[in-house]
Amino acid sequence: MFEDRRFDVAVFYPWHGRNIAVHELFSQLQPRAKTVPIVSTGGATLDLIKLIGSKSIATDVRFDFDYISVFHRHMDISVKDAHYNRWKTARP
């Protein structure tokens, strides 16, 4: 899956301890991609921080619980993007 296309960003959240294996594979196959571990969720993501090193982790992924905003900031997606508006207005 990681070899099929080029990725710019990978978001990691607690996933039953599999974060480290997935991160290692992703980093090998996508060395230029940005890694965004959502540390504020706790769990297995904290183990990933030990591997990556806490100094390379942005402050907002540690303390911000507004995950949509975090995703927009780290994936360089404008809130004015049509995809954001489509999902926002698609809700019942």
Measure the CA–CA gap between 66 and 53, rounded to whole angstroms: 23
For residue 90, pLDDT beyond 60: no
Model pLDDT for residues 15-68, shown as the tens digit of each residue: 666 778 888 888 899 999 888 888 888 777 887 777 777 667 778 888 888 888
- Whole-Å CA distances, 8 to 29, 48, 51: 12, 19, 20
User: Does residue 48 contact residue 21 with C-beta atoms inside 8 Å?
Assistant: no
Domain spans of the chain?
Answer: 9-90
Give the model's pLDDT for residue 18: 74
> Residue type at 15?
W
Banded pLDDT at 3 (limits 50, 70, 90): confident
What pTM was computed for the model? 0.64
